[in-house]
Copies of this chain bind each other. A is one copy, B any other.
Amino acid sequence: MVVAVTDQGPSILTVGQGSALPSGPFELGHRSLQSGLRAWVEEQTGHQLGYIEQLYTFADSDRIGEQRQQRVISISYLALTRAEQAAGPAQRAWRRWYDFFPWEDCRAGIPPMIGEILQPRLLAWADGASNDQVKRERRQRAAAGFGWDGHAWNEELVLQRYEQLYEAGLIEEAMRGPRPGVSLPIPGIAMTADHRRILATGIARLRSKIKYRPVVFELMPPVFTLLQLQRTVEALSGRLLHKPNFRRLIEQQELVEETGETTADTVGRPAKLFRFRHAVLDERVVSGMKLPLSRS
């Protein structure tokens, strides 16, 4: 899962009409999992990867839509890359990640589809349970996951939400196989095999990790304004942040330093330009950035 952030928001690199993640078999020629990964991504997309981290290893034969005889083990990785890199010939292969998870973007408030589509269908699914115990437990889980009944929205629960929608049979991928679904899937682009699950895992990991490691900077250009940084974090986490408090956090932690320059091309007061202080990576075990959430 290769991520970059553009004006379009967070996007991922896809192959095959945008429905699959770049991937390939681990072969004897590969020195390590990571080098094999880099080779496949470069071959399939022309992209050189920078920061990568392992996500999860899947081997559920019932989830990948393949024959039971074949044993496929998928070792998934998350890669972060800069928007500049994202340009070029392969550009059409980038797709916004919220196209796959429309319910995960709460920057303009909780998306109406959650109340209008997901809630009724999840409640219907809960009511379809055989006994009251299970019914209650399903409703409870849905409420905690989607922020109903006084539960706060938690942007990190991407995978739990996806899995619950899958379990409820509302996701297109869950309708495949011998017993195809009878109803329409909910909005959100489906993917090959369990690639959308890998995506959900990666988004969850990234949303969690930006809070305790300074990984956002892997997605930023070398020089940026604090608002650009904030917008990137907001795009990833799917929530709006409180500007002055975001500033305070960033400066307190000394994650960035001024370049001395300011932006020229903007409307309004020009903003100072900053760069990431790479030195912090050695100096200390860096304690990412907590998100100063904003109501509005």
- A interface, CB within 8 angstroms of B: 26, 28, 31-33, 54, 56-57, 59-61, 71, 73, 75, 137, 140-141, 144-145, 151, 154, 157, 160, 282-285
Q: Which 3 A-B pairs have the closest CB atoms?
A: A140-B282, A57-B57, A33-B59
Chain B residue, CB-CB nearest to A156: B285
Chain B residue, CB-CB nearest to A160: B285
A173 and B54 CA atoms in complex are apart in Å by 24
| Residues of chain B lying within 8 A (CB to CB) of residue A137 | 282
Given contacts A54-B56, A59-B33, A60-B32, contact A140 B283 (CB under 8 A): yes
Name the distance in Å between A183's Cβ and chain B's nearest Cβ. 27
Instruction: Assess whether B75 is in contact with A57, with CB atoms less than 8 Å apart.
Output: yes
Instruction: Assess whether A157 is in contact with B28, with CB atoms less than 8 Å apart.
Output: no
| Residues of chain B lying within 8 A (CB to CB) of residue A71 | 26, 28
Chain B residue, CB-CB nearest to A70: B28
| Residues of chain B lying within 8 A (CB to CB) of residue A160 | 285
Given contacts A32-B59, A57-B57, A59-B32, contact A282 B26 (CB under 8 A): no
A125 and B54 CA atoms in complex are apart in Å by 29
Name the distance in Å between A113's Cβ and chain B's nearest Cβ. 22
| Residues of chain B lying within 8 A (CB to CB) of residue A33 | 57, 59, 73
A33 and B61 CA atoms in complex are apart in Å by 10
Instruction: Assess whether A284 is in contact with B144, with CB atoms less than 8 Å apart.
Output: yes
A61 and B27 CA atoms in complex are apart in Å by 13
A59 and B75 CA atoms in complex are apart in Å by 11
A102 and B285 CA atoms in complex are apart in Å by 22
Instruction: Assess whether B26 is in contact with A144, with CB atoms less than 8 Å apart.
Output: no
Name the distance in Å between A93's Cβ and chain B's nearest Cβ. 26
| Residues of chain B lying within 8 A (CB to CB) of residue A283 | 140, 144
| Residues of chain B lying within 8 A (CB to CB) of residue A141 | 282
A49 and B31 CA atoms in complex are apart in Å by 34
| Residues of chain B lying within 8 A (CB to CB) of residue A285 | 144-145, 154, 157, 160
A137 and B75 CA atoms in complex are apart in Å by 32
Chain B residue, CB-CB nearest to A157: B285
A-B contact pairs, 7 of them (CB 8 A): A31-B61, A57-B75, A73-B73, A137-B282, A140-B282, A144-B283, A154-B285
| Residues of chain B lying within 8 A (CB to CB) of residue A73 | 26, 33, 73, 75
A32 and B59 CA atoms in complex are apart in Å by 6
Instruction: Assess whether B54 is in contact with A57, with CB atoms less than 8 Å apart.
Output: yes
Name the distance in Å between A249's Cβ and chain B's nearest Cβ. 19
A145 and B145 CA atoms in complex are apart in Å by 36
